[in-house]
């Protein structure tokens, strides 16, 4: 059975506005919902109950990887993930492979595979956080020009919440940046790249800024349950396999990746559900649509 919808929905929407969240309120203090909010809640609850969930065993991430589902979590595959992202008001690329969250959906992680090829990790000892941050900030300035034209909120890259670091034992690349919206709010984009033989599994952790310290450990433990299929693992690389056009630094900045907030159901909130990252070369051609080198 689903929990009462108001805290459930606020958990799913990551407590974007304190006045909307009832997690810290008693039922008597919870604000009365408007008819429009009631209708939105009902629509979202119907969506969630219509999705095929798994709460144990293993979840399949396309034909490249699997994820064990710990007790207390729910998982859905590609179709359910796309439905949820659209329900949250986000544009989708069609290549989303999985969604996992605690049962109350207070935070979640989305998996998407980028078939970019084998990414060499020879830069593992040369990641220059200062230089990378500067490139991301410059890219965001360019992205903001297009966002402003579209009447969308612009974003400022404030700095690192967690500087990029690479684990050569697990072939995981992780980082988190702090972002500020032109409407005044701040958020954190926490990303993990899991390197495989034919590409990279892109994982985005979505949670409220205030929740991040308590969620990170659970999230990282969750990723320990991730595994590429044996023939898709980083160690299974064979001569003749496709090599990615960039290295570890390129995975973060993408030669000038643009961070852009998405529109839709949550446009009235200052935070965003998922940060889309668009390659400059593809920006004008297919912004927010189709498959990009960086997406959710």
Lowest mean pLDDT among 150-164, 207-221, 277-291: 277-291
Domain assignment of residue 143, given as a range: 5-23+37-286
What is the pLDDT, as a whole number, of residue 35? 82
Average pLDDT, the chain: 74
Is residue 28 in some structural domain?
no
Give the mean model confidence (pLDDT) for residues 201-225.
88
Tokens (6 digits) for 264:
């839709």
109 vs 16: which has the higher pLDDT: 109
Q: Which residues pair with 100 in a beta bridge?
A: 75, 109
Tens-place pLDDT, residues 52-106: 999 999 999 999 999 999 999 999 999 999 998 888 766 677 889 999 999 988 8
Instruction: Classify residue 30: in a domain, yes or no.
Output: no
Distance, CA of 115 to CA of 293 (rounded, Å): 9
Task: State the pLDDT at residue 31.
Answer: 65
CA distance 222 to 25: 29
- Alpha-carbon gap, residue 7 to 41, rounded angstroms: 10
- C-alpha separations of 293 from 273, 286, 296 in Å: 19, 11, 10
Q: Given a cut of 60, is residue 50 above it in pLDDT?
A: yes
Q: Six-digit token pair at 5?
A: 């919808």
pTM: 0.71
Instruction: Please tell me the number of Cα atoms within 13 Å of 74 on its side-chain side.
Output: 19
- Residue 210: pLDDT over 50: yes
Question: Is 291 inside any structural domain?
Answer: no
Residue 294 falls inside a structural domain:
no
Alpha carbons 31 and 33: distance in angstroms, whole number: 6
Lowest mean pLDDT of 6-20, 50-64, 76-90, 241-255, name the range.
6-20
One DSSP character per residue, 224-271 reads TTEEE-GGGBGGG--TTSPBPSS-HHHHHHTTTEEEE---STTTTSSS
Angle value at C-alpha 47, between 294 and 206, nearest 5 degrees: 35
295 in any annotated domain: no
| Phi–psi pair at 85, nearest 5 degrees | -60, -40
User: Distance between CA atoms of 83 and 175, rounded to whole angstroms?
Assistant: 27
Q: Report how many domains make up the chain.
A: 1
Report percent pLDDT > 70 for the chain.
74
Q: Residue 141 contacts by C-beta under 8 Å, 6 or more apart in sequence?
A: none
pLDDT digits (tens, 9 = 90+) for 112-167: 999 989 999 999 988 999 999 998 888 888 778 877 887 777 888 899 989 999 99
> 19, 34 in Cβ contact below 8 A?
no
In a domain, 31, yes or no: no
Assess if residue 170 is contained within a domain: yes
Q: Has residue 175 been placed in a domain? A: yes
pLDDT over 50 (residue 213): yes
Residues ≥6 apart with Cβ < 8 Å to 129 = 160, 163, 164
Dist CA 295 CA 277 (whole Å): 5
Arithmetic mean of pLDDT, 13-26: 29
289 SS3 class: coil
At which residue do the structure tokens 């912004």 appear?
287
């Amino acid at each position: 059975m689903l929990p009462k919808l108001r805290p459930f929905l606020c958990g799913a929407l990551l407590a974007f506005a304190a006045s909307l969240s009832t997690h810290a309120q008693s039922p008597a203090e919870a604000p009365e919902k408007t008819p429009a909010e009631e209708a939105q809640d009902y629509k979202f609850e119907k969506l969630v109950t219509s999705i095929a969930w798994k709460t144990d065993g293993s979840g399949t991430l396309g034909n490249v990887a699997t994820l064990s589902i710990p007790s207390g979590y729910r998982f859905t595959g590609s179709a359910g993930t796309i439905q949820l992202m659209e329900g949250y008001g986000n544009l989708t690329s069609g290549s989303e492979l999985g969604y996992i969250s605690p049962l109350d959906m207070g935070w979640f992680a989305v998996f998407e595979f980028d078939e970019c090829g084998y990414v060499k990790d020879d830069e593992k000892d040369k990641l220059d956080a200062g230089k990378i941050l500067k490139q991301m900030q410059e890219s965001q300035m360019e992205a903001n020009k297009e966002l402003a034209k579209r009447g969308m909120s612009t974003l400022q890259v404030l700095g690192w919440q967690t500087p990029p670091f690479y684990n050569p034992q697990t072939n995981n690349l992780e980082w988190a940046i702090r972002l500020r919206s032109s409407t005044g709010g701040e958020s954190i984009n926490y990303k993990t790249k899991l390197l495989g033989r034919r590409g990279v599994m892109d994982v985005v952790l979505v949670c409220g800024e205030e929740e991040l310290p308590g969620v990170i450990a659970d999230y990282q433990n969750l990723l320990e349950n991730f595994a590429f299929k044996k023939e898709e693992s980083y160690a299974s690389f064979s001569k003749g396999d496709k090599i990615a056009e960039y290295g570890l630094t390129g995975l973060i900045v993408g030669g000038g990746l643009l961070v852009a907030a998405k529109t839709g159901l949550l446009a009235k909130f200052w935070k965003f559900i998922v940060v889309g990252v668009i390659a400059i070369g593809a920006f004008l051609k297919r912004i927010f649509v189709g498959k990009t080198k960086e997406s959710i």
